[in-house]
């Protein structure tokens, strides 16, 4: 995973991300609704906070708590800060930070969240270990992450047309993730797998959505420039009707 490339791309789409990322918001809302009666919460961390949508929702759930958020995109952080300022909200602390090396003390947060962010890490184990480091003992870490069936249609389409699918996202599965969390000290992680298909007008509309939500970064097609355009236009002619894409999402609660 080329972190600098991912960082630059997310910075370039910060102002339009919310407009196109309704599926991600829906998954984040479901994640926050799964909170298991956590009381007495004073400090909350949103890891990979993006434009701050989930952080704002968390402030409504944990009234009076201090809400921290971090993201490795400068523009995302600044956009989130502006959103908070315009809404005249307080008790938020946002920072630019790689979530594999966060600037927080050990055992500091009562609860941590991360929505559709951890698959951008260079190493999923490192990212999970870092998240658990900053959560207090017996605190909960809630997160969503794509499963291996995500985007299976485009993978198949690329393979059938001899285009390399060199994706480096950390898509995982329930068994592997459960094993990894137990290895990191979470005895009984709760995982729910949800699979749905999202319909796009056509193949190129789907590719445009990928670009405007950052999901195309981390995919090396082996093509570039004009050759990429010609190949994708040819694919769209073959697939110019509605294009359905699978999203397998893992909803997780890991207790430290």
The tokens of 100 are what?
A: 């594999």
Query: Tell me, what's the pLDDT at 55?
Result: 95
What crossing angle do the helices spanning 124-134 and 174-183 adopt, rounded to 10°? 50
Distance between CA atoms of 143 and 145, rounded to whole angstroms? 7
Judge contact between 236 and 202, C-beta under 8 A: yes
Residue 29, in any domain of the structure: yes
Residue 216, in any domain of the structure: no
Identify the CATH number of the domain in which residue 82 sits. 3.40.50.150
Query: Tell me, what's the pLDDT at 158?
Result: 78
Query: Tell me, what's the pLDDT at 167?
Result: 63
Tokens 């002619």, residue located: 237
Q: Among residues 252, 254, 169, which one has the least CA distance to residue 215?
A: 169
Query: Tell me, what's the pLDDT at 222?
Result: 47
Judge contact between 244 and 151, C-beta under 8 A: no
Residue 224, in any domain of the structure: no
Regions in the chain scoring below 70 on pLDDT:
1-3, 5-6, 9, 36-38, 164-168, 215-233, 235-240
CB atoms within 10 A of CB 217: 22
Strand pairing category for 135-146 and 243-255? antiparallel
- List residues bridging with 71 in a β-sheet: 96
Structural domain count, the chain: 1
Residue 128, in any domain of the structure: yes
């Amino acid at each position: 995973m080329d972190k600098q490339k991912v960082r630059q791309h997310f910075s370039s789409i910060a102002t339009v991300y919310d407009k196109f990322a309704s599926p991600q918001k829906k998954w984040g809302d479901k994640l926050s609704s799964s909170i298991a009666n956590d009381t007495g919460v004073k400090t909350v961390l949103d890891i990979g906070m993006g434009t701050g949508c989930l952080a704002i929702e968390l402030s409504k759930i944990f009234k009076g708590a201090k809400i921290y958020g971090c993201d490795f995109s400068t523009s995302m952080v600044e956009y989130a800060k502006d959103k908070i300022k315009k809404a005249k909200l307080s008790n938020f602390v946002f920072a630019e930070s790689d979530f594999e090396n966060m600037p927080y003390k050990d055992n500091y947060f009562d609860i941590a969240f991360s929505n559709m962010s951890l698959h951008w890490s260079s190493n999923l184990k490192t990212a999970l270990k870092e998240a658990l480091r900053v959560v207090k003992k017996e605190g909960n870490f809630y997160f969503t992450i794509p499963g291996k069936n995500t985007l299976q249609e485009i993978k198949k389409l690329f393979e059938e047309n001899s285009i390399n699918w060199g994706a480096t996202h950390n898509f995982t599965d329930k068994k592997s993730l459960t094993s990894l969390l137990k290895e990191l000290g979470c005895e009984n992680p709760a995982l729910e797998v949800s699979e749905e298909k999202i319909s796009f007008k056509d193949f190129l509309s789907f590719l445009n959505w990928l670009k405007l939500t950052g999901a195309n970064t981390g995919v090396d097609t082996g093509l570039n420039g004009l050759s990429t355009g010609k190949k994708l236009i040819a694919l769209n002619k073959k697939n110019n009707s509605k294009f359905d894409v699978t999203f397998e999402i893992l909803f997780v609660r890991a207790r430290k």
